[in-house]
Structure 1
Amino acid sequence: MPPRCAAMPGWWCRRWPPHPSSPPWPPWASRLGFAALHAVPLRSTLHGTLGAITVHLPEAREPTPRQQRLADLCASKAVLVIDRARIQEAALRSQRRLRVALESSQVSFGIAVPAAAGVFIWDYLNPVGATTLGLDGSAANARLPWASARILQLCAEHQAGEAAWSVEVQGADASGASCWLQISATPFDGNVAVWFLDISARKRQEHQLRDNDRQKDEFLAVLAHELRNPLAPIRQAAALIAAPQASAEQRQRSCQTIERQVERMGALLNDLVDISRITFGRITLHNAVVTLQTVLQAAAEATLASMEEKRQTFALHVPEAPLWLQADPLRLEQIFINLLGNAARYTPAGGRITLTVQASETEVRVDIADNGIGIAPERLADLFQMFGQLDPRLTERSPGLGIGLALSRELARLQGGDIIVTSAGLGQGSRFTVSLPLTVAPPASVVGGVAVASAAPATRRILVADENPDIADTIAELLELDGHEVRVAYDGQQALTLFQSYGPEIVISDIGMPGLTGHQLARAIRATPAGQAVRMIAMTGWGQPQDQAEALAAGFDHHLTKPADMQTLYALVGA
């Protein structure tokens, strides 16, 4: 390699005469016919040193000034050409990356350019944008056929501005359904870069959330109303019972009123619990082979009184041949009671209700039709939603929480069936159709009963434990009227102490108590020798299946959910 030229750093040359420190001239240079060379580096301000241009001389001498100048010009031109080529290559690579990004993006993008005064056209649209607007040759299937003209119109309206803008616009798709588009735009050099996104699904979800929130508020108001309603007759009946001048007949009617209202509140709470169980997948069906006729007859008997009050005509058309179902008979009865109750409620006095059964080889369809107020077409799709009710302005205020139809359909679906509704419109009545799968007839079985000899009721020593004194004292008084000896405790620790001194045969206990919980009390009693033979009954407001399982695991023999039926309690105590 020739030595570096001291006069011009970065230049390489072969001096003549040779410098003493110069390396020997390589033999291959002589064979190629040159004895000296002059090198000019290619230095770029953008890319650094790119290489060098060399001038080979046949004689061992320095290049002339003209040759040096020519080499410098060639080096300058070479640097410019190389820089330009590399810049163009980088620009093309950047364009390719941008195009790949835009064309593979799921966000619609386009560039709008002015074509005339106040008129914009598309200069570029990525594939998803062209598909969204129907400009890719499939205009007949376009989701938003109106959007292209609207976007270009907005670009023209914002033409005078330089700031980015964003807007949401609404239109209708090819089927006439409402849809929304979100548009974000950035002007540049008189053109507009536009991003747009179909947000129809999000808008529908927002609408659904607002509707759900409204329904929730309405439901809470209805719940408060429905739970307060029974309290008024209960309070009035209690006052009448306490009045010294009340007759025995008035006290009896008051007791019946209280019983009816308690049953009504219990039914409301049971519906709430059932919906919760279905929502979380915790409901348990107790399936058995039953006949549809048996279930329908029981449901008709349960709702006949409400129809007779309004002088409604009820026609029940069922085939004589038994239709066998593998289902939960109580849940099926609940479905038809709800549907028949709705028909009676929304049919005016003197109206007509019919129940008709049609069966095929594998399925049975039960139609419950009425000539009542009917259902508006726009309400049919929402009728089975949670807490949905017909407009109360169309009829008297409907009792209940608006969950009966939702609960009925879910119960039908859990048993392999379904419920649909049809109506010709307001004032045209309605028809609910329940479909259920049929099963084969079971083998002949002997139906009989075991005679139970009646015995005189025995007197029991009973301990009642509940933190609510009204509940504990009332249960104690009722049991004493039934001939039993009763002691009362208002917390768990007091109940355990009283158990040890009193020695009851039966313990009736709440679960959530101070001192000791009902579960702790049960375990403590079972741990004593005297507690092995005690009958323990849990009476609590916690009524989920897991609550029952926990009570039985703690040592209780029976589990009753408040408000418990007193006849059931009497039967457990007297057993």
Structure 2
Amino acid sequence: MDRSVFERAENSLCESEARLRRVFENADVGLTRCSRDWRYLLANPAYAKIVGKPLDQIVSRPIAEVMGVEAAETIRPYVERVLRGEHVTYEAQVPFAGAGSRRLHASYAPDTDAAGQIVGWIACITDITDLESLREADRQKNDFLAMLAHELRNPLSPIKHGLHILKLDAVIVERSAPMLDVMTRQVQHLVRIVDDLLEAARFSQGRIELRKELVDLKQIVNDAVAASLPLINHLDHRLEVSLPSEPLPLFADPTRLAQVLINLLNNAAKFTKPGGRIEILAKREDSDLIVHVRDNGIGIPTEKLRCVFDLFTQLGKSGVDHSGIGLGIGLALARNLVELHRGSVQARSDGVGRGSEFIVRLPLANTVADTQRTVAVGLSAIGMERRVLVVDDNRDVANGFGLLLESLGAKVHIAYDGRSALETVTDFKPEIVFLDLGMPEMDGYETVRLLRRLPIGRGIFIVALSGWTQERQRSSVDAGFDMHVVKPIELNVLMDLLALGKRTPRENH
């Protein structure tokens, strides 16, 4: 055979090996080849950086000597698996002797000889310490947002209760109606900000659950318009609503979808000078349902269109009263909610001073059916002489809530801790107990369990009160509560509870 063939094959092999070595040496991830007796046969510069040792102090050295004994023991279970022939992938915190503790993502594969015997393993290792730090910072941010929102609910509750009490006095209403309206709007704005903070934290933590049903988009639009109309009227805007005569069926969570449209309508109102025009239009387009929300407001700068749905992004401020602008959360929540419905939302604007348009696209339902909606009973509780026990360690919240209940005709007793509530319940014989979950020493969960064990406790209607939202409701009901209500409680909800506050016995109580 021509010798040149061998030379070409040898040259090709050398070139291949050189390419492989360049890839090995320049890879961004740590690569090693290790023997069955726990020695390094090969290592690249990226791996040397991870372990904090120069290459000449790694190759041919025992693993425990390079890593440190504690680090070697950390990876031992994974090495034992790869030496049994498994392909292993894991994440672990590895305490290197030279580089300190690092968070690693590693993949191990068996290394075999010509006879197929396992002689060691090959490792691909990525240092994800910085990524894990970012994850932890994000978790802490979300925990902080949730805790902040929770803590803000407590001072809001007595303020809201006080406003409700003042509005029940006809003389005060006649003399101070405009100021009461301003105070009510501002408290509602604070409540919305707190709710948005909680929603932002829940989205980041993946804790949003949709309760989908077959609904008519036209009804959701009408609900959103009704909720946004006070703000729109307050700013003297003209609102145009355009809906087709045909049904617009979709499978959706009506509350969450209304929240999307409310955010868009409120956004249009706040970023349009008083006396502006706002339009909401819904229509069917092939297999989609489309909602347009348009305004002739301040518009969106071109450079902000791409980030307008990012969390905490604020739009331009020229020429608009920003006393109620908020935190820049509403549009981010709207996008997330729409995407959870397998839809999309898009922002358009021709620039500053040219108005803006938001387009929501949602999938059409396959079947048209009557929408089943749950509505509040709406019965007035004023004058109903319910015996009500309020249990809350925050005295301002408890006393303010008690005054509101008395204004509605209830006979009220207040306890500031769980033990006092247990001592009171037999003599006071309440029909309804409003019980705060977050009390020190004996929290609401333990208090309700002990209440249910008392002979009188099985027939009491017990409502859990907390600053936490839906993620806590299931656990509170499982603990023995009849209902979970988020602070600060709305007046109409409170009136309904007083009207309906008779317990229906359930199993396992």
Alignment partners' CA distance in 1, 2:260 and 2:373: 26
Counterpart for residue 557 of structure 1: 482
Find the counterpart in structure 1 of residue 421 from structure 2: 495
**Using the alignment, how far apart are the partners of 1:308 and 1:448 within structure 2?**
28
**Aligned-pair CA distance for 1:353:** 2.6
- Counterpart residue identity of residue 210, structure 2: L
Evaluate the alpha carbon distance shift between residue 462 and residue 358 of structure 1 in structure 2; reply closer, same or farther with a 3 A threshold.
Answer: closer
- CA drift of 1:103 comes to 5.5
Per the TM alignment, residue 454 of structure 1 is displaced from its structure 2 partner at its CA by: 9.3
Q: 1:263 aligns with which of 169, 181, 188?
A: 188
Written as runs of structure 1 = structure 2, the 5 A alignment for 1:178-189 is: none
Within the candidate set 533, 537, 555, 2:459 is matched to 533
Q: 2:347 is matched by which residue type in structure 1?
A: V
Contact 1:262 1:563 in 2 (8 A): no
CA deviation vs aligned residue, 1:101-136 (integer Å, no higher than 9, x gap): 23654469xxxxxxxxxxxxxxxxxxxxxxxxxxxx
TM-fit CA distance, 1:469: 1.2
Task: Give the letter for the 1:262 counterpart.
Answer: V
Structure 2 counterpart of 1:179: none
Query: 2:346 aligns to what?
Result: 420
Q: 1:331 aligns with which of 248, 256, 266?
A: 256
CA RMSD of aligned residues (A): 4.0
| 1:105-144 superposed matches below 5 A | 105-106=25-26
Is 1:572 paired with 2:497? yes
* Offset of residue 256 of structure 1: 4.6
- Structure-to-structure mapping, 1:165-564, within 5 angstroms: 249-250=174-175, 255-393=180-318, 395-397=320-322, 399-443=325-369, 458-545=384-471, 547-564=472-489
Identity %: 37
- Normalising to structure 1: TM-score of the pair? 0.56
Cα distance, 1:444 vs structure 2: 5.9
The secondary structure found in structure 2 opposite 1:381 is helix
Give unmatched runs, 5+ long, in structure 2: 1-12, 29-129, 501-509
What displacement does 1:363 show? 0.5
Distance 1:299 1:567 in 2: 19
State the partner residue of 2:65. none
Bigger-Rg structure (1/2) = 1
User: Compared with structure 1, are the counterparts of its residues 251 and 470 closer, same or farther at alpha carbon in structure 2 (3 Å cutoff)?
Assistant: farther
CA displacement 1:129-172 (0-9 Å, x = unmatched): xxxxxxxxxxxxxxxxxxxxxxxxxxxxxxxxxxxxxxxxxxxx
Are the structure 2 counterparts of residues 100 and 390 from structure 1 closer, same or farther at C-alpha, using a change threshold of 3 Å?
Answer: same
Q: Which amino acid aligns with 2:268?
A: A
CA offset digits 1:8-28 (Å, max 9, x no partner): xxxxxxxxxxxxxxxxxxxxx
Q: 1:133 aligns to what?
A: none
Shift of 1:385: 0.4
Give 1:462 shift.
2.1
Aligned pair in 2 of structure 1 residues 419, 492: CA closer, same or farther (>3 Å)?
A: same
Deviation at 1:558, TM superposition (A): 1.2
Residue type of the alignment partner of 1:390: L
TM-score (norm 2): 0.63
Cα shift at 1:332: 1.4
Paired residues of 2:240 and 2:278 also in contact (CA < 8 A):
yes
The answer as to whether partners of 2:277 and 2:295 remain within 8 angstroms in 1 is yes
Q: CA deviation at 1:521?
A: 0.9
Q: Secondary structure at the match of 2:282?
A: strand
Contact 1:289/1:325 (<8 A) preserved: yes
Amino acid at match of 1:428: R
Q: CA deviation at 1:453?
A: 10
| Larger RCO, structure (CA 8 Å, separation 6 or more) | 2
Structure 1: distance between partners of 2:275 and 2:181:
28
After TM superposition, give the deviation of residue 286 of structure 1 in Å: 1.7
- Give the 3 Å change call, closer, same or farther, for CA 251–509 of structure 1 in structure 2: farther
CA distance 1:316–1:573, change in 2 (3 Å): closer
Structure 1 CA distance, aligned partners of 2:376 and 2:483?
23
Supply the distance in 2 between the matched residues of 1:450 and 1:474 (Cα, whole angstroms). Answer: 25
1:87 corresponding residue in structure 2? none
SS state at 1:341 partner: helix
1:486 maps to a residue whose letter is V
| 2:81 aligned residue | none
Distance 1:400 1:508, change over 3 A: same
Distance change >3 Å, CA 269–CA 433, structure 1 → 2: same
In the alignment, which residue of structure 2 is the partner of 1:102?
22
Q: For residue 504 of structure 1, report the CA deviation from its aligned partner.
A: 2.3
- The code of the aligned residue for 2:241 comes to L
**Structure 1: distance between partners of 2:278 and 2:187:** 29
Supply the distance in 1 between the matched residues of 2:215 and 2:372 (Cα, whole angstroms).
14
> C-alpha displacement at 1:364, in angstroms?
1.8
- What amino acid sits opposite 2:21 in the alignment? A
Letter in 2 for 1:505: E
| Alpha-carbon distance in structure 2 between the residues aligned to 1:376 and 1:416 | 28
Separation (CA, whole Å) in 1 of partners of 2:255 and 2:23: 60
Are the structure 2 counterparts of residues 501 and 290 from structure 1 closer, same or farther at C-alpha, using a change threshold of 3 Å?
same
Task: Give the AA of the match of 1:570.
Answer: M
CA distances 1:62-110 after superposition (whole Å, capped 9, x unpaired): xxxxxxxxxxxxxxxxxxxxxxxxxxxxxxx9999777523654469xx
In the TM superposition, residue 264 of structure 1 has moved relative to its aligned partner by: 2.2
Contact kept in structure 2, 1:459 and 1:484, CA below 8 Å: yes
Following superposition, the deviation at residue 362 of structure 1 comes to 0.7
- Taking the aligned partners of 2:379 and 2:427, their CA distance within structure 1 comes to 35
Aligned pair in 2 of structure 1 residues 306, 415: CA closer, same or farther (>3 Å)?
same
The aligned length equals 366
Residues 447/253 of structure 1: CA separation in 2 closer, same or farther (3 Å cut): closer
Is the partner of 2:456 in helix, strand or coil?
Answer: helix
| CA distance in structure 1 between the aligned counterparts of 2:398 and 2:407, rounded to whole angstroms | 14
Mapped to 2, the partners of 1:447 and 1:262 lie a distance apart of: 28
Q: The residue matched to 2:307 in structure 1 has which SS?
A: coil
Matched residue of 2:485: which SS?
strand
Distance in 2, matches of 1:339 and 1:319, equals 20
Deviation at 1:526, TM superposition (A): 0.7
> For residues 310 and 259 of structure 1, do their structure 2 counterparts lie closer, same or farther at Cα, with a shift above 3 Å needed?
closer
Q: What code does the residue aligned with 2:22 have?
A: L
Maintained 8 Å contact 2:263/2:331: yes
Task: Give the residue type in structure 2 aligned to 1:337.
Answer: I
8 A contact 2:293–2:358 mirrored in 1: yes
Deviation at 1:392, TM superposition (A): 2.9
Secondary structure of the 2:228 match is helix
